């Protein structure tokens, strides 16, 4: 930090607003005060972003813009659900739903709603996942790739980026697993929401191993948090206080040409 309390970074900085406060305006004030310019919308007032009314979405977009910030991502729960007729769910991982209890059958409707929310807020990217992690993720990969590609085709018609997040509680959790999925997807608007701490919890050395497994230029957004494992339970903490090599990761991101947000 600089002396006046504003974060100092080569990368533009953002956050998922509910990580600061469940109340959007409170979160935005705190984020703006430390120099953040981007906001990811996930929950506010106890509701998931895809369940907000049109008035609530417009009000949120106006609140972000009023502070000289912009909505950079719709942090949706798309494909954060059980994949039918798949192997058993891996019970090691906590399923964080963030006020979203939607099912596989809801995904087409949620896809259209996510597009509408992105349009209303000006967000260029919609985050998606890869279904809750099973005991045999590799058996799900073809169905995941097909679902992501179909969704990406729909997003492309609206000029939107699909951001596939590596999530330890989902089937694509590591850099290696992300690379494998990307090999099967042809849509150019698919980017990775790279979360090194998630890759670590999924059992990978996120940097350098996981990051180096990713295809060049595929990272469209970065989530920054740190973690160490206490048995099978993750213990989260500030960057540089746990296990992830964030100094090496940030250097590698910059050298790779990434100039997007750290969230």
For the chain, give the percent of residues with pLDDT over 70. Answer: 97
Give the list of residues 6+ apart from residue 81 with CB closer than 8 angstroms, or none: 102, 103, 104, 106, 107, 131, 132
Give the list of residues 6+ apart from residue 69 with CB closer than 8 angstroms, or none: 28, 31, 32, 36, 37, 38, 39
Looking at domain 14-255, its CATH architecture is: Alpha-Beta Barrel (3.20)
**Mean pLDDT value of segment 179-189:** 96
Q: What is the crossing angle of helices 107-121 and 141-156, to 10°?
A: 40
pTM for the whole structure: 0.95
Q: What is the pLDDT of residues 133-156, one digit of tens each?
A: 999 999 999 999 999 999 999 999
User: Where do the structural domains in the chain lie, given as residue ranges?
Assistant: 14-255
Q: What is the pLDDT of residues 46-80, one digit of tens each?
A: 999 999 999 999 999 999 999 999 999 999 999 99
Q: Measure the CA dihedral 63/195/2/10, to 10°.
A: -90
Give the Cα separation of 30 and 240 in Å (integer).
Answer: 22
């Amino acid at each position: 930090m600089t002396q006046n309390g504003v974060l100092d970074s080569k990368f533009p900085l953002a956050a998922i607003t509910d990580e600061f406060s469940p109340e959007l305006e409170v979160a935005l004030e705190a984020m703006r005060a430390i120099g953040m310019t981007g906001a990811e919308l996930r929950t506010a007032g106890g509701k998931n972003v895809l369940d907000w009314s049109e008035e609530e979405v417009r009000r949120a977009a106006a609140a972000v813009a009023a502070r000289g910030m912009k909505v950079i991502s719709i942090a949706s729960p798309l494909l954060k659900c059980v994949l039918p007729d798949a192997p058993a769910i891996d019970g090691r991982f906590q399923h964080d739903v963030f006020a979203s209890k939607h099912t596989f059958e809801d995904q087409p409707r949620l896809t259209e709603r996510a597009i509408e929310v992105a349009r209303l807020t000006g967000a260029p990217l919609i985050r998606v996942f890869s279904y809750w992690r099973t005991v045999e993720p590799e058996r799900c990969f073809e169905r995941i790739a097909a679902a992501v590609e179909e969704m990406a085709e729909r997003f492309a018609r609206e000029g939107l980026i699909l951001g596939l997040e590596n999530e330890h509680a989902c089937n694509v959790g590591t850099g290696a697993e992300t690379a494998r999925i990307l090999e099967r997807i042809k849509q150019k608007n698919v980017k990775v929401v790279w979360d090194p701490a998630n890759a670590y919890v999924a059992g990978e050395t996120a940097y350098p191993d996981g990051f180096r497994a990713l295809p060049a230029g595929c990272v469209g957004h970065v989530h920054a948090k740190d973690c160490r494992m206490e048995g099978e339970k993750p213990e989260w903490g500030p960057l540089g206080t746990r296990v992830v090599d964030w100094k090496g990761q940030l250097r590698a991101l910059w050298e790779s040409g990434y100039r997007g947000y750290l969230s």
